[in-house]
Amino acid sequence: APVVDAASLSGQCHTRCGRPGNAKYGGYCLTCLNRRGGTASLRPKLVQRQALSGRNVDVCQGDITLESAKAIVNPANSKLDHASGVAGAIARAAGPELFEDGDAILAALPDRRLPTGDAAVTRAGGSLQCRHVIHAVGPTWKGGDKGEPAALASCIRRALEIADNKRLISIAIPAVSSGIFGYPKALCARHVLDAVFAFLNDHPDTSIKTVRLTNVDDATVQEFRTALGAEQRPTCSIVRWVAGDANPEGDSDGANKQTIRVMHGTPYAAQRCASPGQEVVVVVDFCNLAWELITPFIDVDEQRSRLQEGLRVAVKAQGISGPDTAASPVRAFAVRDSETDARVAIAACASNKFDAASYERLVDAIHAAMVIGASTPGATALAVPLVGASTLAFTNTVAARAVVEAAWRLLKRRAELGQPALDVRLCEGPDSAFFVQALRTTFVIPGATTATKSDSGVAVKAEFSEPAALTFTGDASATAAPAAAAPPANETPKQRRERERAEAEARLAARQASENP
Which is the CATH superfamily of the domain at 238-469+489-508? Leucine Aminopeptidase, subunit E, domain 1 (3.40.220.10)
Give the domain 43-230 fold. Answer: Leucine Aminopeptidase, subunit E; domain 1 (3.40.220)
DSSP SS3 for 123: strand
Mean pLDDT of 220-224: 93
Mean pLDDT of 140-149: 90
Mean pLDDT of 273-299: 75
pLDDT tier for residue 7 given thresholds of 50, 70 and 90: very low
Other beta carbons less than 10 A from residue 512's beta carbon: 10
pTM over 0.85: no
pLDDT tier for residue 34 given thresholds of 50, 70 and 90: low
What pLDDT does 300 receive?
62
Other beta carbons less than 10 A from residue 167's beta carbon: 10
Mean pLDDT of 87-113: 90
Contact predicate 435/428, CB 8 Å: yes
For residue 290, is pLDDT > 70?
yes
**Nearest alpha-carbon partner for 1 in 64, 71, 73:** 64
CA atoms within 13 A on the CB side of 233: 28
pLDDT tier for residue 242 given thresholds of 50, 70 and 90: low
Higher pLDDT, 87 or 325: 87
At residue 495, what are phi and psi to the nearest 5 degrees? Answer: -60, -40
CA-angle at 308, arms to 402 and 306, nearest 5°: 120
pLDDT tier for residue 430 given thresholds of 50, 70 and 90: low
CA atoms within 13 A on the CB side of 397: 6
For residue 323, is pLDDT > 50?
yes
User: Mind spelling out the 3-state secondary structure of 428-464?
Assistant: ECCCCCHHHHHHHHCCCCCCCCEEEEECCEEEEECCC
- Directed axis angle between helix 185-202 and helix 218-230, to 10°? 50
For residue 260, is pLDDT > 60?
yes
The whole-chain average pLDDT of the chain stands at 77
For residue 489, is pLDDT > 50?
yes
Partners of 56 in the β-ladder: 51, 210
The per-residue pLDDT for range 359-418, each reduced to its tens digit, is: 888 888 889 999 999 988 888 889 888 875 556 667 788 888 888 889 888 988 888 888
- Fold match between 43-230 and 238-469+489-508? yes
If residue 133 lies in a helix (H) or strand (E), which one and from where to where?
strand 132-137
The per-residue pLDDT for range 115-137, each reduced to its tens digit, is: 999 999 999 988 888 999 999 99
DSSP letters, 228-263, are: HHHS---EEEEEEEEESS--TT-----TT-EEEEEE
**What is the C-alpha separation between 275 and 511, in angstroms, rounded?**
41
Q: What ranges do the domains of the chain cover?
A: 43-230, 238-469+489-508
